[in-house]
Amino acid sequence: MIRNEPKKLSRRSFLAGSAMVVAGTAAASVIKPESAHAANELKDWSREGNATSVPASDETNASSSDGTFREHNAAAFPADDASPIPPRKVPQKWDYECDICVVGAGGGGLNAAARSAELGAKTICVEALGLHGGNAQEAGMCGILGGYSGQNEKKFAFPSYPFDPKALTDWAMDEYHYAADPKLIYRLASEGGKSLDWMADCGVQWRLGEVPVYVAPKNSTLDHHVLKMKDATDTMFAYGQRHGVDYKFQSPAEALVQDDDGRIVGVVINEGFEHERFIHAKHAVILTAGGFCNNKALLEKYIPTAAMGCASSYLTAGETGECFRMGLGVGSDVSGFNSSASFDGGVDWEAEGGQWARFLYDGMTQLSRQPWLTIDRCGNRIRYMDSRVAEDGANAIYALGDLATIQMTPPGHRSYIVFDSHYEDYLAGFAQEHCRKLLTPDLEQIEKVPPHYRDWHHGVQDAIDADVLKKRDSLEELEADLGFEPGVLTTAVEKWNENCERGEDDYLYPMPKEWLHPVVDPPFYGCRIGGNLYGTKAGLLINDQMQVMSTKGTPIPGLYAGWHTAGGACGENSYIGDPILGSLMGDVGLAFCGGYLCGTSAVENEMGDRR
């Protein structure tokens, strides 16, 4: 059955359109659907223009033919290729010359380029999109666990004050079940705070303690640092310009260039999507253009849990894995197998022929993250994790990732939320914090959000119109159209309503009394949800100098990688990426720090006294 007819769209048109990223703050940032989701209109990267068949959700429920999980529609991804990209040979003539070439102008790439140039390297930075910032602009905060000078005024650091990077490394390795590289973690712990101080020296305005407490571990508060991501990326872009970085936009990297001695000496780009150009990077190439959250084939091969358990990805600005594949093509090893980071409440738009990549602050995504009646395909209740901030720190920040774990593990690797016509009356009482807050017109910097999404109702109505959020007049009809067997959903609702009437939830779950709202009045609403993938933690293996390691256990000469192109920040088989939602610094902070480390190490190791 044909679910939708894709538009004809060239690669150039897609990438140029995808560049139209608008940034926000801690709880207000959205990507225009007509630009960021244009990739999904292609449906099949290799067969442009072909329609795609998507089975109706009520035909497949949550599982594939073998009853294990719902298969994503790979043809709806902008890239679906796990094969290595082989390097090119040294050309007879180079088109551009530099000391260091940085691939990617997101948060990590901007830092890598600025740091390299500051230290005296002639630097070129190439970017597929039409502007700087990448996925860093889709985030709203950067957390850090210690080492930043701003924490001294609070006399607080984690896990103890004064800050001790070894103590943090010991704690992290225990959290990672000793699956990570302690030298790499120690470098991150030692330099993470320094990278933020360096960014402040470059002009980034950090603001300490503006948002309440985060948690690090249970019953312990954690100060964190809030920034305007667009302001931060704009600042680092300008800082790089002042130090001579040559930025080449709408010029995606296509392959690395490797000489006969095995050294990486350059990058091939498609300049303006029209002309192939060879950039000679005499000393190093730094890969920072993200992971592969939007490449189905890579997910299935390297992060199978995310491929099976996530309902969506919110990294709309790329993340198709070309840098990772280029690394594979020159013999890189891989670290962080089956490791990723997800938030709760991913909405399965793809089950209705929609897009895999949806931004986190779409109104429907936010609605799905509230404490509704949630069940698996067997009708079993699924526990909810509260993100309200208690006086002792509670589990507020862990809840966002822990609930994703819960939602990704039921039979069928899908969860379902159900509520009735009174749902809007309950939202204020849920009082969820952090990025579970609904988009409303009074949020700070709401003017940076496209008008359509400045009110969360619009995203919800879009989901109803697409039948992603199913609105039905009876529970029986909703049950059938969500793909449940007769009696599964209705019985679950009956048990839930009994708890609501009693004013006390089942002890196995349990919801606070003020959240017990019966599902009794039509219309009834239901939606399939899962994890919301926001970061690959599998990537190219690097050492503590950010050098890419070969399968022989030695560095590949001249090649460096920052997170999230690199892996290893969370060890192996960590599919939510704790601690602290995916990294020692908060996820986007990991990219910032990685870029800083790459730029520092590449210049010091490869240029030395030649500067």
- Distance, CA of 83 to CA of 81 (rounded, Å): 6
pLDDT, mean of each 10-residue run, the chain (611 residues): 32 28 28 30 33 53 50 70 97 98 96 98 96 80 68 75 89 87 91 89 71 37 52 92 97 97 98 96 96 92 91 85 97 95 89 82 91 94 86 62 87 86 96 83 72 88 95 97 93 98 94 96 96 92 98 98 92 73 64 95 88 58
**Contact predicate 264/557, CB 8 Å:** yes
- Distance, CA of 251 to CA of 278 (rounded, Å): 11
Do strands 310-313 and 524-536 pair parallel, antiparallel, or not at all (unpaired)? Answer: parallel
Among 144, 142, 143, 191, smallest CA distance to 165 is for 191
Residue with tokens 């992603």: 468
- Distance, CA of 210 to CA of 233 (rounded, Å): 20
- Distance, CA of 257 to CA of 262 (rounded, Å): 10
CA dihedral 427, 432, 438, 442 (to 10 degrees): 100
- Distance, CA of 186 to CA of 193 (rounded, Å): 12
- Distance, CA of 523 to CA of 325 (rounded, Å): 48
- Distance, CA of 534 to CA of 317 (rounded, Å): 11
User: What's the pLDDT score for residue 74?
Assistant: 66
**Contact predicate 493/519, CB 8 Å:** yes
- Distance, CA of 603 to CA of 120 (rounded, Å): 8
pTM of the model: 0.86
Residue at 147: amino acid letter? G
User: What's the pLDDT score for residue 314?
Assistant: 84
**Contact predicate 304/324, CB 8 Å:** no
User: What's the pLDDT score for residue 521?
Assistant: 98
**Contact predicate 137/214, CB 8 Å:** no
Rounded to 5 degrees, φ, ψ at 286 are -115, 120
Among 63, 72, 50, smallest CA distance to 4 is for 50
- Point out which residues pair with 566 in neighbouring strands: 540
Which token pair is 523?
């219309």
User: What's the pLDDT score for residue 43?
Assistant: 30
**Contact predicate 356/597, CB 8 Å:** no
- Distance, CA of 542 to CA of 204 (rounded, Å): 28
Q: Which element (helix H / strand E) includes 535?
A: strand 524-536
- Distance, CA of 486 to CA of 471 (rounded, Å): 18
- Distance, CA of 25 to CA of 138 (rounded, Å): 8
Residue with tokens 């890598």: 112
Which token pair is 499?
């708890």
Among 7, 32, 608, smallest CA distance to 317 is for 32
Rg for the chain, CA atoms, rounded: 24
DSSP conformation class of 35: H
